[in-house]
Amino acid sequence: MSLLSDPKAAVDDLSRPEAWVLGVSVAFALFLLGALLTGALGPTYFLFLVGLAGMYALLSFGLNAQWGFTGLINFSVAAFFGIGAYGSALMTADSSPIAGGFNPLVGLAVALVVAFVLALLIGIPTLRLRADYLAIASLGLAEVVRLIVLNERWLTNGSAGVRGIPSFFEGWPVFSTLPETMPGLRLVVIPGSPILLGTSFWRASLNVLLVLAFAGATFFVLRRAHRSPWGRVLRTIRSDEDLARALGKNTYSYKMQSFVLGSLIMALAGVFYTHLNLYVGPGDLDPITTFYAWVAVILGGSGSNRGALFGGIVIVTIREGTRFLNDVALPIDPAPLRLLLIGVVIVAVMRYRPQGILPPQRELIWPSAVDDRDPPDPPSSGVREQKGGGGDE
């Protein structure tokens, strides 16, 4: 099954949409590589985009853990993202009106604790009720958090935002000075347009490393959780909460766990964003972030971690890729075009592939339990495929 040990078999094992996505991804990567080598895309900016893609992937992972796994409708993605961003910014920045100057790891811890408490506070009254109450309450929560951040100047600097945020590796041995100590590189791929890799490039590389670590760890945790009996209970709740209750599952507790887990992941995305952008303002809490995350999850396929990753990357491609359209003569501005494109993508997905591009396609049973059986059951690929094809729902 491993891509490394037996690439041919691994590729043969893919379902059609998987192969399709793999192909498009490879083509896209080659395109980016070409742009990088020819100097059309600055390497530092490219790494910033990779960081942004990682951040959106984290947001989608978080929402997927709530909506995709358990069916919880959370419209306060931006709020938890903002809690993460402001939590770490206020702890670490020079200009912080409260504490400030702490090690970023302290900021990370504080951000996660605040997000945890907030998730509990909103979950306790709403998770016992029907799903729509959480949706409404979370919509309100997002606005409350945004307005507090905007208006409570003594706490957040208000509309001025928080500046002077150190990089995440500030104060670490080796890492904190790595960008300065790395040698500047000069690559000449095409004669006449050399590519310079200096301090900012290395700093961006560290950020990418950080987001890869965050997203990688999150992906590992979610994948294991998704295939476990724990994840199975969540999926049962999503399909039919009463059934889970009748079978002796404490659904309130499971919904709370899923909600808190997702919220923590969103806060993690916020923490990363703080140290990527080095500035946070109330504008970062705009509801549009919430909807980008929703688009990413629905596009990728609700319930699928890979889908969430894919959706996050697509969102960044549309959001940032449209900037390059400035050079092309277009009848409309790129900014509205961005929203239009996202709208078109969503309509197209809903019309032609309502389950999303990469929905979960294999049985989710704890791997060792399935591997034990001999001969190994053929992976019953396309559980959802068949359903989607039949159009019975």
Among residues 246, 328, 329, 332, the one that binds another protein under rule CB under 8 A = 246
For residue 252, the surrounding DSSP H or E stretch is helix 251-277
Residue 68 Cβ vs another protein, minimum distance, rounded to whole Å = 10
Question: Are residues 156 and 90 in contact, defined by beta-carbon separation less than 8 angstroms?
Answer: yes
Question: Are residues 158 and 282 in contact, defined by beta-carbon separation less than 8 angstroms?
Answer: yes
Q: Contacts with another protein in 279-338 (CB under 8 A)?
A: 303
Among residues 16, 153, 186, 224, the one that binds another protein under rule CB under 8 A = 224
Quick one: which of 379, 376, 309, 373 has its CA closest to 64? Answer: 309
Residue 226 Cβ vs another protein, minimum distance, rounded to whole Å = 10
Stretch that binds another protein, among 74-82, 172-180, 236-244, 314-322 (CB under 8 A): 236-244
130 is an interface residue for another protein by CB under 8 A: no
213 is an interface residue for another protein by CB under 8 A: no
Residue among 225 and 278 whose Cβ is closer to another protein = 225
Beta carbons within 8 Å of 255's beta carbon, 6+ residues apart? 70, 72, 123, 127, 237
380 is an interface residue for another protein by CB under 8 A: yes
Question: Are residues 109 and 174 in contact, defined by beta-carbon separation less than 8 angstroms?
Answer: no
d(CA 91, CA 116): 17
Stretch that binds another protein, among 139-147, 168-176, 205-213, 230-238 (CB under 8 A): 230-238
Question: Are residues 115 and 267 in contact, defined by beta-carbon separation less than 8 angstroms?
Answer: yes
State the DSSP string of 169-207: TTT-TTGGGHHHHSPPEEE-SSTT--EEE-HHHHHHHHH
230 is an interface residue for another protein by CB under 8 A: yes
Residue among 203 and 249 whose Cβ is closer to another protein = 249
Amino acid letter, 231? G
Question: Are residues 127 and 259 in contact, defined by beta-carbon separation less than 8 angstroms?
Answer: yes
Residue 372 Cβ vs another protein, minimum distance, rounded to whole Å = 5
Question: Are residues 201 and 44 in contact, defined by beta-carbon separation less than 8 angstroms?
Answer: yes
344 is an interface residue for another protein by CB under 8 A: no
User: From residue 354, how far is each of 72, 300, 387, 388 by CA, in Å?
Assistant: 18, 10, 11, 8
Residue among 18 and 286 whose Cβ is closer to another protein = 18
363 is an interface residue for another protein by CB under 8 A: yes
Give the residues across from 162 on adjacent strands: 280
d(CA 308, CA 294): 10
Strand ranges inside 209-359, DSSP E: none
377 is an interface residue for another protein by CB under 8 A: yes
Interface size with another protein, residues (CB under 8 A): 48
Question: Are residues 94 and 100 in contact, defined by beta-carbon separation less than 8 angstroms?
Answer: yes
Among residues 112, 114, 115, 235, the one that binds another protein under rule CB under 8 A = 235
Among residues 188, 372, 374, 376, the one that binds another protein under rule CB under 8 A = 372
Residue 132 Cβ vs another protein, minimum distance, rounded to whole Å = 19
Residue 252 Cβ vs another protein, minimum distance, rounded to whole Å = 8
d(CA 347, CA 322): 19
DSSP β-ladder status, 185-187 and 195-197: antiparallel
Residue among 6 and 363 whose Cβ is closer to another protein = 363
359 is an interface residue for another protein by CB under 8 A: yes
Among residues 154, 183, 239, 351, the one that binds another protein under rule CB under 8 A = 239
Among residues 163, 249, 338, 353, the one that binds another protein under rule CB under 8 A = 249
List of residues contacting another protein (CB under 8 A): 221, 224-225, 228-230, 232-233, 235-236, 238-240, 242-251, 257, 261, 303, 359-360, 363-370, 372-373, 377-378, 380, 383-384, 386-387, 390, 392-393
